[in-house]
Amino acid sequence: MNIQTRDEGTGSEYARIFRLLSAAKDEAQKLKLNNLTHLTNMALLQVVIDWDGIDPERELDVNLEKLIGTKTQMAMKDASNNLVLIDCH
């Protein structure tokens, strides 16, 4: 069970960051900026890990790909149609 402290974000804040990073990743892909695409993928993964408050090194059974898919759906459900869902691969 996660107990939110003053320094932690809410679900809507994580969703907003996720959408912004997804949009940045999409633009980096369009411009063929491979290093930036890789960095945004890493940032998206970190947002998902922080959002759920998990430690992937300690929780070996965590399926990060499935978790990313779930968080993508949550973040994008209220987003406008101009944002593209991230590719988990």
**Model confidence over 35-73: pLDDT tens digits?**
999 999 999 999 999 998 888 788 766 777 888 888 888
Q: What is the number of domains present in the chain?
A: 1
- Tell me, yes or no, whether 86 lies in a domain: no
pLDDT at 86: 59
6 pLDDT exceeds 80? no
Residue 40 counted as domain residue = yes
pLDDT of residue 20 exceeding 80, the answer is yes
Q: Is 32 exposed, middle or buried (0-12, 13-18, 19+ CB in 10 A)?
A: exposed
Question: Residue 54 falls within a domain, yes or no?
Answer: yes
Its domain, for residue 43, covers 11-74
Residue 32 lies in a domain: yes
Query: Is residue 34 in a domain?
Result: yes
